[in-house]
Chains A and B, each alone.
Chain A
Amino acid sequence: KEKQSSLDAFF
């Protein structure tokens, strides 16, 4: 139900 997100949205 929960997953590791990435930083891609912040670059």
Chain B
Amino acid sequence: MFKAELSNPNILKTSFEAISAIVDEIQFQTDSEGLRLDALDRGHITFLHLDLKASLFDEYICDEPEKINIDTDEFMKVLKRSKSDDRVLLSLDEGNLIITFEGQAKRTFKIRLIDMEYEPATPPAIEYPTEFSIPFDLFKNSINDIDIYSDKVSLSVDSEKFKAFATGEFGEVNIEFIHGESVKEEASSVFSLEKISEMLKADKFSDNVTLSIGNDMPLTLSLKMISEEGELRFLLAPRIEN
């Protein structure tokens, strides 16, 4: 039996704004610890991991592990119909994920479970020279600034500053932010702006974003709830010199 209840739909909604922009299908894996998913996009450019711990839910029952395969667009269409103060219940029957919104009315939606084309990837462990946190809004604004000039961004960090830089045909933009964190090495890599923007669609998950950057290494971008009961993490392959 699987049953999970949330006091509002916002974490699921904001997570799937990003997830549905990146992958077509996902497999939720549930057990007594909580609900998680790992997914890799078709081009193998972005990997994502969502972890929602059992304690995040108002009620959580999972007496045996389940694998729930769904189409992300179909799930997002349903989540978009939620109101921000609706209670959300997730459960299963033979062949369906059942999503119930309880507010002024009780609304029950069923989404057919699908066969997955691919087994979900296991999250890779990457050793990074740097890790630091910056405000989510600052990062999102930087990406919007960069968008004036280019479709790619150079992200770098040193002991003092986080920097975002882009150059284009008509000019360039340089953003600097004193991060106030303990970063001992310098690192810099270039990333697709479009791919970063997809991740930042999860704009209500966390006030801060934790970034790990290396030299020509993937970007790790992690959104964590203050309570540490939920994390949405992405890995993005860099653009590199040919």
In the complex, A8→B240 CA distance in Å? 14
Residues of A in contact (CB 8 Å), total 10
Proximity string of chain B (21-46) to chain A, C-beta cutoff 8 Å, 1 when within and 0 when not: 00000000000000000001001111
B235 within 8 A of A: yes
Contact A2 B235 (CB under 8 A): no
| Complex: chain A residue closest to B240, CB-CB | A5
B79 within 8 A of A: no
Contact B239 A2 (CB under 8 A): yes
Within 8 A of B (CB), among A1-11: 1-8, 10-11
Most chain B CB within 10 A, of A4, A6, A8, A11, is at A4
Proximity string of chain B (195-235) to chain A, C-beta cutoff 8 Å, 1 when within and 0 when not: 00000000000000000000010100000000000000001
Partner of B240 from the list A2, A7, A10, A11 (CB cut-off 8 Å) is A2
| Complex: chain A residue closest to B191, CB-CB | A4
Most chain B CB within 10 A, of A2, A3, A7, is at A7
Q: Which residues of A contact B218 (CB under 8 A)?
A: 7, 10
Contact A11 B124 (CB under 8 A): yes
B68 within 8 A of A: no
Contact B238 A5 (CB under 8 A): yes
| Complex: chain A residue closest to B125, CB-CB | A10
Give A2 Cβ to nearest chain B Cβ, in Å.
5
Contact A6 B242 (CB under 8 A): no
B-binding residues in A (CB < 8 A): 1-8, 10-11
A-B contact pairs, 8 of them (CB 8 A): A2-B241, A3-B242, A4-B192, A5-B237, A6-B45, A6-B237, A7-B218, A11-B121
**Supplied contacts A5-B240, A7-B40, 13 more A-B pairs, CB within 8 Å:** A2-B190, A3-B242, A4-B43, A4-B45, A4-B239, A5-B239, A6-B45, A7-B44, A7-B47, A7-B218, A7-B237, A10-B218, A11-B124
